[in-house]
Structure 1
Amino acid sequence: MSLCGFLLRFGLPEFLLLFFAFLLLVCFWAKKDPPNFPPGPPSLPFLGNIFNIESKQPHIYLTKLADVYGNVFCIRLGRHRTVFVSGWKMVKEAIVTQADHFVDRPYSPMVTRIYSGNSGLFFSNGKVWRRQRRFAMSTLRTFGLANSSMEQSICEESRHLQEALEKEKGEPFDPVPLINNAVANIICQIVFGRRFDYTDHNFQSMLRNLTDMAYLEGSIWALLYDAFPAVMKHVPGPHNGIFRSSRSLEASIRAEIERHKLDLDPTNPRDYIDLFLIEEKHSKNRDLGFDEGNLVLCCLDLFLAGSETTSKTLQWGLVYLIKSPHIQAKVQAEIDGVIGPTRHPTMADRPNLPFTDAVIHEIQRVGNVVPLNGLRMAAKDTTLGGYFIPKGTSVMTNLTSVLFDPAEWEKPDSFHPAHFLDAGGRFVRREAFLPFSAGKRACLGEGLARAELFLFFVTLLQKYHFTTLEGVELRGDGVIGATRTPHPFKVYAEAR
């Protein structure tokens, strides 16, 4: 019987009812879980749990779900299942103990639209990812922490930051653009071989695009795009800003690459781009990602990772020290006693500044700049927390649940630098301190980020006392995207 004949015989309402029942049946069988699969909240047909997630504080919602369903549970984003892993012990099991089982990234329509093929540093898999990660880490060592030049670069950039602060002439100002400028210039020197003036139009455009991407990639719009790509790619909305920003950043990076080609000296590489171009010329295996298209995307990843998280951590540092003036005063007293008011700090000073080091670590913990880790994918059938995880299942470890795990931290919800001090006031490392993640996908620039945080932080507190507008209470809840950002605030920077 034809469709027209069916409608004439039974009517449109009956057809729609039958069609809807058929869709529900398909949906039921599609979402049917294998035996011993992780539990989770009830979900809507086709939509899953995507509209249950709190858009402003999704990491809090997901952490609370663990209280109901356990530290390994499943939610559905559209038709796709994602297993969430919470708490230090279970997160460690997933990304450290079973690192080989959960090292790959799953397919993402949004990522694929930006990173065509198996490309970039963060979203590639297999031999391309392994080779490009080793190459990037080697470059960071060569132009970063393997010699004292990077310390000198950070100290020099601190001087530019001070000059910018002095131009505010004691008036309240937004510290975010200045911190963004200073931090971004460090990774720019490694990747592009140069720093940019804070007034450089192209530099500011790159930073704006970077901020937009970081916010939108962690928004509900990104979740909607990945859940319903066939629809969302035709729908106007904020999610399209991700692609506009990425295209603009890629164009700026390509211009830098072309500039490098003009005076490339294979015997004297200046930065990451030079080394990559030299490797591309001599590489015999094109399957390892040494081509110009991948160079653009790798630079994009390094620029994003090397700017966004460190800058946000320093911003949170100002928030917490303004909210806790007694801690700010104690940090400054320790700096005065060890370094004094004029000498530039060095990384060699860190062991002699245990309280300052503890405060920086506590800022990273409570600041919680990356609330949710990047998605992983089960490489084979395995078990986690006693549950069966089939091959190909998307898995996300909740870093918020680790940094605020009540089983690991004495005062998880308080800004409490003593978390990183022993009874004698000596600095102590904590295993559950995971702002850089852990395992094989841990942040490849962790060493550089630690140096930047220490040197910028100490220099700022050595030179300035920070307060905010009278009667203003700075907020601690943050704006959530791919990173967690303080709400807009203004500060006074009083020269000490």
Structure 2
Amino acid sequence: MAFDVAFFDFQTVLFCVGMFLFIIWWLRSPKHLPPGPGGLPFVGNLLNFALSCYRTGLTSHELLAKLAHKYGPVFSMYIGGTLVVVLDKYDVVKEAFNNPYLNGRPKMAIHKEIGLKEGLGQASGKLWKQIRHFTITTLRSFGVGKNSFEENIIDEVKYLSQEVTHLQGKSFDPKCLLTNATANVICCVVFGKRFEYHDSSFKILLDCMDKYLQAAGAGGLQLFFPFTKYIQPSIHRLMKHNMESMVGFITNEIENHQQEHDTENLGDYIDVYLNEKQIAKKQNREFVIDNNNLAVTISDLFMAGTDTSASTLRWAILYMMAYPDIQDRIQRELDSVVGRNRLPRLADKTELPFTCATLLEIQRAGSIAPLGFMHYSQEDTTLAGYKVPKGSIVVSNLWSVHHDSELWDNPDKFNPERFLDDQGAVKEMVELIPFSIGRRICIGDHLAKMELFIFFTHLLHQFKFTKPEDSPPLSFEGITGIVFSPQPFLTQATVRQ
């Protein structure tokens, strides 16, 4: 009997302690928050969310879209003790990312662990503005985003086309070639040189980047929530190793530039940085960017400008194989406008409406950054009438925006015609936001648009892409990470005469 009483007392104490902690948690929870699913104190919704993804087979962005149907276009949930506000419609994404208080970035715990400072992607406030201004100004000085940069991209497409031609119609996975090619466009600006596709150190760099982006999880979950390293320690170690390898490669390039620096010959982004640093020192003025910031910023540029473009082009080849009639129509348009005696140019763009419409539809259907990149509330603010407390993380479900049936007729159907008006001209849709929106929009969006157009038109002008007979069925089930990329697939490229 004494044991029963003691056990009963223990249960009572445990229940009371649990109720006390719950009441404290509830009283401290901010009021007037966006609605959302109930979660466990101190744990939040992470466990339920992960189990729901597992049981239903839905991706993170699909499950968040399903929750939005229940709770509305602005809803909230907790991951650990952090409030996460999810945006599901174009209007609320636009309102949120034009709000100056929601332009911050949450800190990356993994950066602190390996001694890295904030780069362009992670910085907030004054530091972000200075890195952003320096980066945009420098990139523009080298013609990035301007028509004059077209030749740099065309040169790289020629190398890519040579590699594809050498395959002589054999089946291949286009991932490595496309990643190498798009990375080299960034390399020319940042390092002042390109790398051969078979360069072993360059291949290691790109492999590290790919593994890091996949391991980071949907929307960068592994990056911004430190407790995940205890749940998935092996993934955390993998991310640390790959980030250290990337930054090590970049730091080595910076050191080589320091040894060979010539103030009279500024050939790339690193050269301009070294020159600005020297000038600031001579003038005794502040220059907040150091080598650590620079290395992280360059890694941000690589990840933002390489894997996203390469994945979009992989989706493009996949859709062209799946819809040969669309591929044929593009090639007829290219032959009619460009002919067979030269290659497509940016100047041809207005005369290639169906080609451009198809590229826009690939970006909509593929939605390669389905959850964008997380924002952070730097102050208490409001959104759509709800309170968003300081310290909240804001996630934009761009995949849901691009598959919103109120904006897009039959959104699950691949249909380039939706981007053409009654006269057959390209119809720009402001709701298509693959590069996000607001002040945190990808600073390389103009470069990416040029790059995608030139790569896409050159490849289809030169080759016909078909599914190899002995390859697995085509799949549009993607791999979820920060970038939503296609499953590995094989293609066959036949040279067009």
Say yes or no: TM over 0.5: yes
41, 64, 70: which one aligns with 1:62: 64
CA-CA distance at 1:476 after TM superposition: 1.1
1:25 maps to 2:20? yes
Pairwise mapping of residues 133-212 of structure 1 onto structure 2 (< 5 A)?
133-145=132-144, 150-212=149-211
**Following the alignment from structure 2 to structure 1, what is the Cα–Cα distance between the partners of residues 21 and 397?**
31
The answer to whether the Cα contact below 8 Å between 1:132 and 1:288 also exists between their aligned partners in 2 is: no
User: Aligned partners of 2:157 and 2:145: how far apart in 1?
Assistant: 20
State how far apart, in whole Å, the 2-side matches of 1:256 and 1:439 are: 33
The one-letter amino acid of 1:171's match is K
2:482 corresponding residue in structure 1: 482
Q: Which amino acid aligns with 2:204?
A: S
Check whether the contact 1:50–1:223 (CA below 8 A) recurs between aligned residues: no
Structure 1 Cα separation of the partners of residues 175 and 232 of structure 2: 32
Partners of 2:217 and 2:481 within 8 A in 1: yes
Separation of aligned partners in 1, 2:20 and 2:469: 61
Residue type at the aligned position of 2:489: F
**Is 1:274 aligned with 2:289?**
no
Contact 1:128 1:288 in 2 (8 A): no
For 1:29, the aligned partner's letter is I
For 1:57-456, what aligned pairs fall within 5 Å after superposition? 57-96=59-98, 98=99, 100-113=100-113, 116-117=116-117, 119-145=118-144, 150-219=149-218, 223=221, 226-227=224-225, 229=227, 232=229, 236-283=233-280, 288-456=287-455
Q: Structure 1 residue 232: deviation in Å? A: 2.6
Return the alpha-carbon distance in structure 1 between the equivalents of residues 458 and 321 of structure 2: 16
What's the offset of the Cα at 1:456? 0.5
Equivalences, count = 485
CA pair 207-376 structure 1, distance change in 2 beyond 3 A: same
Question: Structure 1 residues 345, 45: closer, same or farther in 2, change over 3 A?
Answer: same
Give 1:173 deviation, angstroms.
0.8
The separation in 2 between residues aligned to 1:146 and 1:486, in whole angstroms, is 27
Q: Which amino acid aligns with 2:73?
A: N
Give the Å deviation of 1:282: 2.1
Structure 1 letter corresponding to 2:301: L
Q: CA deviation at 1:447?
A: 0.6
The answer to whether the 8 A contact 2:191-2:269 is kept is: yes
Query: Residue 194 of structure 1 aligns to a residue in which SS?
Result: coil
Q: Give the TM-score, by structure 2 length.
A: 0.92
CA contact (8 A) 2:34 2:74 kept: yes
Distance 1:244 1:23 in 2: 40
Distance 1:487 1:12, change over 3 A: same
- 1:470 shift after superposition: 2.7
Deviation at 1:382, TM superposition (A): 2.3
**Offset of residue 332 of structure 1:** 0.4
Change (3 A) 1:377 1:173: same
For the 8 Å contact 1:90–1:385, the answer to whether it is kept is yes
* CA apart distance, 1:191: 0.6
Change beyond 3 A, Cα 1:146–1:183: closer
From 39, 42, 53, the equivalent of 1:43 is: 39
> Structure 1 regions of 5+ residues with no counterpart?
1-7
Per-residue CA deviations over 1:166-211 (Å, capped at 9, x if unaligned) read 2222111111111111111000111111000001001000000000
CA–CA separation in structure 2 for the residues paired with 1:288 and 1:51: 44
- How far apart in 2 are the matches of 1:195 and 1:69? 49
- Per-residue Cα deviation, 1:437-464 (whole angstroms, up to 9, x for no partner): 0100000000110111000000000010
* 8 Å CA contact 2:479, 2:486 repeated in 1: yes
Compute the RMSD of aligned alpha carbons. Answer: 2.5
In structure 2, do the counterparts of structure 1 residues 299 and 108 end up closer, same or farther at CA, with 3 Å as the change threshold? closer
Once structures 1 and 2 are overlaid, which stretch shifts more, 139-148 or 460-469?
139-148
Secondary structure of the residue that 1:265 maps to in structure 2? coil
Q: CA deviation at 1:493?
A: 0.2
Q: Which residue identity does 2:475 align to in structure 1? A: R
Pairwise CA distance, 1:262:
2.0
Aligned-partner residue type, residue 383 of structure 1: T
Aligned match of 1:3: none
Distance 2:396 2:288 in 1: 28
Distance 1:358 1:235 in 2: 42
Aligned equivalents of 1:259 and 1:227: distance in 2? Answer: 35
Structure 2 residue ranges without an equivalent (≥5) = none
Rounded to whole Å, the distance in 2 between the matches of 1:349 and 1:460 is 15
- What secondary structure does 1:318 align onto? helix
- Comparing 130-139 with 106-115, which one deviates more in the overlay? 106-115
Shift of 1:321: 1.1
Give the letter for the 2:428 counterpart.
Answer: R
Q: Aligned-pair distance for 1:432? A: 0.1
Q: With structure 1 as the length reference, what TM-score do the two structures score? A: 0.92
Counterpart code for 2:44: G
Distance 1:108 1:262 in 2: 31
Deviation sequence 1:342-376 (CA, Å, 0-9, x none): 31222111111111011111101101000002221
- Give distance in 2, aligned partners of 1:154 and 1:108: 33
What displacement does 1:293 show?
Answer: 1.1
Query: 1:414-437 CA distances to partner (integer Å, 9 max, x unpaired)?
Result: 111112110111011101010000
Answer with 52-61 or 354-363: which moved more. 52-61
Match of 1:494 in 2: 494
1:4 maps to what in 2? none
Letter in 2 for 1:129: W
Q: Is the 8 A contact 2:369 2:398 kept in 1?
A: yes
Contact kept in structure 1, 2:277 and 2:287, CA below 8 Å: no
The change in CA–CA distance for 1:159 and 1:16 in structure 2 (over 3 A counts) is farther
Secondary structure of 2:83 counterpart: strand
Higher deviation after alignment, 334-343 or 432-441:
334-343
Residues 335 and 168 from structure 1, CA distance in 2 versus in 1: closer, same or farther, beyond 3 angstroms? Answer: same
